[in-house]
């Protein structure tokens, strides 16, 4: 066995039991579905039900509204274990977390009471609508507008690459409420309940990986949203988004660590069983060295993530830097480890009878979304150097 309980120095007994329970759940109920989910490209509604039933979707939410009130590390542990078996399935939890973070960070008591119970119970899914066709890395360049009209706002614009956008009942939308304001005060954040008049899922992407996760383009044409659905004040959007990333990027790091671990375990099992030239291939130094590096890198990414979670949860002033470092390292690790895993399998790694080719395709997204690796580097550099000087 590659992963032992002894890597759990920072974990409480509850977290260990949670991690082990989810590992078993993932191995027995999710892993057998992973290949099918990837091949069919269909959203795994059965896995969503399973996660809801096991209270996994309740993890990030406050206990007084039916959640479990799990801290950042606990949520990441859950994402990691699920991702080991199936990246698409892990996204169900990760996006429920991401999509609801603005609400949890900045929502009023009334708003929490209104939406959290359904989200915690997994009865409704929520997604995060920030990215647009012309505003990916340059998030401040959003064009979706929200214009006040009486007690409502009217939303117009398009959001692209929205995970779960076609299955979620709630969309957390970032839109420009004041074009004239300074860069970081132009945006506001709204929860839009869908379906609703003027809202349309324009397309769903066909992707390299996470194929069971629907990535949608959402169109808003004169969509009316009550002002009571605005999170925080007008202009709070940017800061809500940034504070969200501090907590959601570790979630993606956790996903990446999970993918890497799954690939490592598959490759190790193969290296144990596969014989060539009269011995098991794992005993050849070139293979053994690859596996050793894969393990060391995965463990490093994992321990970094756990440390980052504790530091961020503790309210460190450089939380953004920690989140970026964790995500940067984990994403690159996942890509390297899965690529090497395919290598260990040789020709068999290229065919879908074995899971590593899927894991390699799934790993790539962890270098792209939640801020590309390049954006993570910008965040870290800025933390080191301070803001850009003219």
Using CA atoms, how far apart are residues 278 and 246, in angstroms rounded to an integer? 51
Of 271 and 328, CB closest to other proteins? 271
Does 372 interact with other proteins (rule: CB under 8 A)? no
Q: Check: CB of residue 319 under 8 Å from CB of residue 354.
A: no
**Known catalytic membership, residue 370:** yes
158 scored as a contact of other proteins (CB under 8 A): no
User: Using the rule CB under 8 A, is 274 a contact of other proteins?
Assistant: yes
| Stretch in the footprint of other proteins (CB under 8 A) among 234-242, 256-264, 272-280, 370-378 | 272-280
CA distances from 275 to 209, 295, 347 (A): 30, 21, 14
Binding string, 14-33, against other proteins, x = CB under 8 A? x--xx--x--xx--------
| 124-132, 197-205, 273-281, 301-309 -> range binding other proteins (CB under 8 A) | 273-281
CB 87 to other proteins: min, Å: 21
Least Cβ distance, residue 29 to other proteins (angstroms) = 8
With binding defined as CB under 8 A, does residue 55 bind other proteins?
Answer: yes
Q: Determine the Cα–Cα distance for residues 340 and 342; give it in Å rounded to an integer.
A: 5
Using DSSP bridges, classify how beta strands 199-204 and 215-226 pair: parallel, antiparallel or unpaired: antiparallel
Q: How far is the CB of 210 from other proteins (least distance, A)?
A: 24
Nearer to other proteins, 224 or 274 (CB): 274
Separation in Å, CA 198 to CA 104, 170, 193, 225: 27, 15, 12, 11
Give, for 221, the enclosing helix (H) or strand (E). Answer: strand 215-226
Residue 17 structure tokens? 């039991």
Using CB under 8 A, which of 34, 47, 58, 301 touches other proteins? 58
Longest dimension (CA), the chain: 79
Task: Tell me if 148 contacts other proteins by CB under 8 A.
Answer: no
User: What does the alpha-carbon distance between residue 162 and residue 241 come to, in Å, rounded to a whole number?
Assistant: 15
Question: Which residue lies nearer to other proteins by CB, 55 or 318?
Answer: 55
CB closer to other proteins, 23 vs 211: 23
Among 5, 133, 314, 346, binds other proteins (CB under 8 A): 5
Smallest gap from residue 39 Cβ to other proteins (A): 19
The stretch near other proteins (CB under 8 A) out of 47-55, 212-220, 308-316, 335-343 is 47-55
Query: Whole-number minimum distance, CB 2 to other proteins, in Å?
Result: 13
Helices (H), the chain: 13-25, 31-40, 45-53, 72-85, 87-106, 109-120, 237-273, 285-313, 319-345, 356-364, 373-385
Backbone angles phi, psi at 358, to 5 degrees: -65, -40
| Contact between 140 and other proteins per CB under 8 A | no
Dist. CA 206–CA 190, nearest whole Å? 28
Positions annotated as catalytic residues are 370
Q: Which residues make up the interface to other proteins (CB under 8 A)?
A: 1, 5, 13-14, 17-18, 21, 24-25, 53-56, 58-59, 68, 70, 78, 273-275
């Amino acid at each position: 066995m590659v992963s032992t309980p002894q890597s759990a120095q920072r974990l409480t007994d509850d977290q260990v039991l949670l991690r082990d329970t989810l590992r078993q759940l993932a191995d027995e109920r999710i892993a057998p579905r992973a290949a099918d989910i990837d091949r069919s490209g269909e959203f795994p509604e059965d896995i969503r039900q399973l996660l809801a039933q096991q209270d996994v979707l309740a993890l990030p939410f406050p206990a007084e509204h039916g959640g479990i009130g799990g801290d950042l590390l606990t949520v990441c542990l859950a994402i990691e274990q699920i991702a080991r078996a199936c990246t698409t399935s892990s996204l169900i939890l990760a996006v429920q977390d991401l999509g609801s973070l603005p609400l949890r960070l900045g929502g009023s008591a009334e708003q929490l009471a209104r939406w959290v119970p359904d989200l915690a119970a997994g009865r409704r899914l929520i997604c995060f609508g920030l990215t647009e066709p012309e505003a990916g890395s340059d998030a401040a360049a959003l064009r979706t507008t929200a214009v006040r009209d009486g007690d409502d706002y009217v939303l117009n614009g398009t959001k692209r690459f929205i995970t779960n956008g076609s299955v979620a009942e709630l969309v957390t939308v970032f839109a420009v409420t004041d074009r004239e304001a300074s860069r970081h005060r132009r945006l506001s954040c709204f929860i839009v309940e869908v379906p609703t008049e003027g809202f349309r899922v324009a397309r769903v992407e066909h992707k390299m990986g996470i194929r069971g996760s629907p990535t949608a383009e959402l169109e808003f044409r004169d969509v009316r949203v009550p002002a009571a659905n605005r999170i925080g004040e007008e202009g709070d959007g940017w800061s809500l988004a940034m504070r969200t990333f501090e907590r959601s990027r570790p979630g993606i790091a956790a996903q990446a660590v999970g993918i890497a671990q799954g690939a490592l375990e598959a490759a190790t099992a193969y290296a144990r069983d596969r014989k060539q030239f009269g011995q098991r291939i794992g005993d050849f130094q070139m293979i053994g060295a690859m596996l050793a590096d894969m393990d060391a890198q995965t463990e490093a990414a994992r321990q970094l993530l756990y440390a980052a979670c504790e530091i961020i949860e503790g309210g460190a002033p450089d939380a953004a830097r920690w989140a970026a470092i964790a995500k940067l390292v984990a994403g690159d690790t996942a890509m390297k480890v899965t690529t090497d895993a395919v290598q260990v399998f040789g020709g068999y790694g290229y065919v879908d009878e074995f899971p590593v080719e899927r894991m390699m395709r799934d790993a790539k997204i962890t270098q792209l979304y939640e801020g590309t690796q390049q954006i993570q580097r910008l965040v870290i550099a800025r933390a080191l150097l301070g803001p850009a000087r003219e």
